[in-house]
Homo-oligomer: A and B are copies of this chain.
Amino acid sequence: MNKPLILITNDDGFAAAGIQALARAVASLGDIYVVAPEGPRSGSAAAITSTIPVSYKELSGPAVAKGYPEDIHLFACTGTPVDCVKLAWDNILPKRPDLILSGINHGDNASISAHYSGTMGAVFEGCMKGIPSIGFSLWLQRGQRYEDYPVSHATLDEIGVFCNRVLQQSLPQDVCLNVNMPTLDKVRGWRVCRQARGRWEAEWASATNPHGLHSFWLTGDFHDLEPEAPDTDFAALRAGYCSVVPVTIDLTAHAVLEQISKLTD
């Protein structure tokens, strides 16, 4: 029997609880290769490492965190999530993967946050390589700590079912999925939706520094610009659903090609 090969990465690092949960959720579906950053890479977007070399090492035996399923192939990489997918593709995997998963991210990647997301950067990369690819992220509301809201067993079971459907049915060309999940014991279901329009504001907090250097921590308040719209990812999350946004790697704004042509007349 030819078992499917599933590559898993993330942007919180191989030791994060979320990637271990994701690996457990799909362990029964195929051979699992985890190739993930050695440490946190939040906000990496689709960044690649171009100014220094990157390396990776296989972790085995006692070095494998207890949260991973048995029989996993685990590699830690010095680069970004996209580097992880590229390194796995060229140098680690024994064959072409059947599915690429990323997450489960600590914090949501709904609305425009998908642009900054290292979780989704890896998913774009998988999609660019022609492989069905899905990112999973957990919507933590203000004051909620990831440690207090692990994804429930019921939701992990649903992730497994969903990933198996994607393995069976594949995804359209150049389309990947951005899945965000509420912190509920039992989600109400899965809802396919579009990316909400949003904006980050007040994004910097002054950082104190013992040497007097004036510097800033990135922070910010997110504003949903269409809070009444029923068909967005945030609307789905607020209603207790997992949001599933099909995402295209074709960035072209096809609808305005003609309008923009007037700029070059």
Stretch at the interface among A24-32, A61-69, A108-116, A144-152: A108-116
By a CB distance below 8 angstroms, the chain B residues around A165 are 263
Is the contact region of chain A dominated by helix, strand, or loop, or is it mixed?
mixed
Residue of B204, B247, B262 near A91 (CB, 8 A) is: B204
Closest Cβ–Cβ distance, residue A203 to chain B (whole Å): 5
Closest Cβ–Cβ distance, residue A22 to chain B (whole Å): 18
Closest Cβ–Cβ distance, residue A113 to chain B (whole Å): 10
Bound-state Cα–Cα, A208 to B79, Å: 17
Query: B248 contacts A251, CB within 8 Å?
Result: yes
Closest Cβ–Cβ distance, residue A214 to chain B (whole Å): 6
Query: B195 contacts A251, CB within 8 Å?
Result: yes
By a CB distance below 8 angstroms, the chain B residues around A124 are 115
Query: Which residues of A are in contact with B by a Cβ distance under 8 Å?
Result: 40, 42-51, 53-55, 78, 80, 82-83, 86-87, 89-91, 112, 114-116, 118, 121, 124, 128-130, 162, 165-166, 169, 171-172, 174-175, 177-178, 189-195, 197, 199-200, 202-204, 207, 209, 213-218, 244-254, 256-257, 259-264
